[in-house]
Amino acid sequence: PPMALERLVALAAGKPVFALAVSPSKAARLAPVLEFLAMAFMNRHDAGALTGADVDADERGIVDGLRRAGLKSGVVTAGDGPVLGFDAAGAFSILPPKKVADGAADAVAGATVAALLRGLTLRVALRDGVAAAMLAIESAELVPVFTAADFADALAL
């Protein structure tokens, strides 16, 4: 619930808080705390729920809408389309060389956040997220297991 999210952000006391929207109805619950988040991960439908924008809006329209809503940094997936990233340095997109479905959003978010916490920029960190998502989609396992070499190969793509 929004009240719990507000409490969570307050308890973080300035530490970075990352959010994964999960669905349009849950994304809307993030609205009161967007300005306090280090970053939010979502798909185009979730972004539309936060901004009222059409899911087919151009990348600039999506970023502008999310920024007006208070989000400083975010990642927006689009099924097998480009993954959009934006922060204070600007907006960019990565077209995955293989299909990265929205179902791998947790892999995108987890690997990207891990890279950000290692000090990488979003532009570099999101490449880690896309590589992890590609490996997750290719795996038959619920929790994919891959080696550093597998990750390096996916990242090289």
Reported for 25-30, long-range contacts at CB under 8 A and 24+ positions apart, including other chains, are 25/49, 29/1, 29/2, 29/5, 30/5
User: d(Cα 48, Cα 59) in Å, to the nearest integer?
Assistant: 12
Residue 144 CB neighbours (<10 A): 15
* Mean pLDDT estimate for the chain: 89
User: d(Cα 65, Cα 131) in Å, to the nearest integer?
Assistant: 27
3-class state of residue 22 by DSSP: coil
User: d(Cα 26, Cα 23) in Å, to the nearest integer?
Assistant: 5
Phi-psi region of 18 (alpha: psi -120 to 50; beta: other; left: phi over 0): beta
pLDDT at 80 exceeding the cut of 60:
yes
Task: Give the pTM.
Answer: 0.89
Q: Please provide the CATH number assigned to the domain covering 2-156.
A: 3.40.1190.20
Please state the φ and ψ torsions of residue 84, each to the nearest 5 degrees.
-95, 130
* Per-residue pLDDT at 106: 87
Residues in the chain: 157
- At 8, the pLDDT band (50, 70, 90 cuts) reads very high
* Per-residue pLDDT at 142: 65
- At 102, the pLDDT band (50, 70, 90 cuts) reads low
- Per-domain residue ranges for the chain? 2-156
